[in-house]
Structure 1
Amino acid sequence: MEQPALIPHLFRTEFRKITAVLCKAFGIENIAVAEDIAGETFLSALEVWPYKGIPENPVAWLYLVAKNKTRNYLLRNQHFAEKIAPQMKAAATDSEQLDINLSEKNITDSQLQMLFAICHPAIPVEAQIGLALRILCGFGIPEIATAFLTNKEVINKRLFRAKEKLREEKIPIEFPAPTEINQRLDAVLTTLYLLFNEGYYSESQDAVLREDLCLEAMRLTYLLIEYEATNQPEVNALFALMCFHASRFEARKSDNGEIILYHDQDETRWNQELIGRGAWFLHRASEGQRLSRYHLEAAIAYWSTQKNDTPEKWEQVLQLYNRLLQVAYSPIAALNRTYALAKVHGAAIAITEAEKLKLENNHFYFALLGELYSSTNPNKAREHFQRAYQLAITDTDKRTMQRKIDVL
Structure 2
Amino acid sequence: MEKNELIPHLFRTEYSKITAVLCKLFGFEHIEIAEDLASDTFLSASEIWGLKGLPENPVAWLYTVAKNKAKNYLRHESVFQKKVAAQLKYSAAATDHTPEIDLSDQNIQDSQLQMMFAICHPAIIAEAQIGLALRILCGFGIEEIADAFLSNKETITKRLQRAKDKLRAEQIKIEFPGPADIHKRLETVLRTLYLLFNEGYYSASHNSSIRKDLCLEAMRLTSLLIAHEATNTPAVHALLALMSFQSSRFEARINPAGEMVLYDDQDTSLWNRELILQGEAFLHTASQGNELTKYHLEAGIAYWHTIKADTPEKWNFILQFYNHLLQLEYSPMAALNRTYALSKAKGKPAAIAEALKLNLSALHLYHVLLGELYTGIDNAKAMACFETALELAVAPADQKVIRQKMERCR
TM-score (norm 2): 0.78
Task: Give the distance between the partners of 1:394 and 1:11, measured in 2 at CA.
Answer: 31
Task: Give deviations 1:242-300, integer Å, cap 9, x for gaps.
Answer: 12112222322223333222111222332333222222221221222221101110111
* 1:19 alignment counterpart: 19
- Contact in 2 for aligned 1:241/1:294 (Cα 8 Å): yes
Task: Give the distance between the partners of 1:340 and 1:209, measured in 2 at CA.
Answer: 31
* 1:178 alignment counterpart: 179
Task: Give the distance between the partners of 1:69 and 1:131, measured in 2 at CA.
Answer: 23
Cα deviation for residue 227 of structure 1 reads: 1.0
Q: Specify whether residues 391 and 165 from structure 1 end up closer, same or farther in structure 2 by C-alpha distance, changes over 3 A only.
A: same
Q: Specify whether residues 82 and 298 from structure 1 end up closer, same or farther in structure 2 by C-alpha distance, changes over 3 A only.
A: same
Deviates more, 1:98-107 or 1:287-296: 98-107
Q: How many residues align?
A: 400
Cα deviation for residue 107 of structure 1 reads: 3.2
Q: Specify whether residues 289 and 171 from structure 1 end up closer, same or farther in structure 2 by C-alpha distance, changes over 3 A only.
A: same
Deviates more, 1:152-161 or 1:354-363: 152-161
Task: Give deviations 1:322-360, integer Å, cap 9, x for gaps.
Answer: 110111111111111111011123333433433544545
Give the residue type in structure 1 aligned to 2:78: Q
Task: Give deviations 1:365-386, integer Å, cap 9, x for gaps.
Answer: 3433332233233344344444
* 2:290 alignment counterpart: 289
- Structure 2 residue 255 is matched with structure 1 residue 254: yes
- Aligned residues with identical type, % of pairs: 58
Task: Give deviations 1:17-39, integer Å, cap 9, x for gaps.
Answer: 44323311211222343345556
* 1:202 alignment counterpart: 203
* 1:368 alignment counterpart: 369
- Structure 2 residue 28 is matched with structure 1 residue 28: yes
Task: Give the distance between the partners of 1:368 and 1:205, measured in 2 at CA.
Answer: 24
Give the residue type in structure 2 aligned to 1:281: F
**Aligned with 1:20: secondary structure?**
helix
Task: Give the distance between the partners of 1:396 and 1:95, measured in 2 at CA.
Answer: 59
* 2:232 alignment counterpart: 231
Deviates more, 1:216-225 or 1:61-70: 61-70
* 2:267 alignment counterpart: 266
* 1:405 alignment counterpart: 406
Q: Specify whether residues 83 and 6 from structure 1 end up closer, same or farther in structure 2 by C-alpha distance, changes over 3 A only.
A: same
Task: Give deviations 1:138-182, integer Å, cap 9, x for gaps.
Answer: 486757867xxx999999887666534432343332222333211
Task: Give the distance between the partners of 1:358 and 1:59, measured in 2 at CA.
Answer: 55
Give the residue type in structure 1 aligned to 2:325: L
- Contact in 2 for aligned 1:366/1:388 (Cα 8 Å): yes
Give the residue type in structure 1 aligned to 2:33: V
Q: Specify whether residues 338 and 63 from structure 1 end up closer, same or farther in structure 2 by C-alpha distance, changes over 3 A only.
A: farther
**Aligned with 1:184: secondary structure?**
helix
Cα deviation for residue 86 of structure 1 reads: 8.3
Cα deviation for residue 64 of structure 1 reads: 7.3
- Structure 2 residue 194 is matched with structure 1 residue 193: yes
Q: Specify whether residues 134 and 86 from structure 1 end up closer, same or farther in structure 2 by C-alpha distance, changes over 3 A only.
A: same
Task: Give the distance between the partners of 1:36 and 1:76, measured in 2 at CA.
Answer: 16
- Contact in 1 for aligned 2:200/2:215 (Cα 8 Å): yes
How is 1:357-396 mapped onto 2 (pairs within 5 angstroms)?
357-359=358-360, 362-389=363-390, 392=393, 394-396=395-397
Task: Give the distance between the partners of 2:212 and 2:165, measured in 1 at CA.
Answer: 33
Q: CA RMSD in A?
A: 4.3
Deviates more, 1:163-172 or 1:184-193: 163-172
Q: Specify whether residues 206 and 405 from structure 1 end up closer, same or farther in structure 2 by C-alpha distance, changes over 3 A only.
A: farther
In structure 2, stretches of 5+ residues that fail to align are none
Q: Specify whether residues 168 and 295 from structure 1 end up closer, same or farther in structure 2 by C-alpha distance, changes over 3 A only.
A: same
Give the residue type in structure 1 aligned to 2:246: H
Task: Give the distance between the partners of 1:406 and 1:311, measured in 2 at CA.
Answer: 27
Deviates more, 1:20-29 or 1:117-126: 117-126
**Aligned with 1:332: secondary structure?**
helix
Give the residue type in structure 2 aligned to 1:405: M
In structure 1, stretches of 5+ residues that fail to align are none
Deviates more, 1:29-38 or 1:318-327: 29-38
- Contact in 2 for aligned 1:23/1:34 (Cα 8 Å): yes
- Contact in 2 for aligned 1:299/1:320 (Cα 8 Å): yes
Task: Give deviations 1:290-324, integer Å, cap 9, x for gaps.
Answer: 21101110111111111111112111111110110
Larger Rg: 2
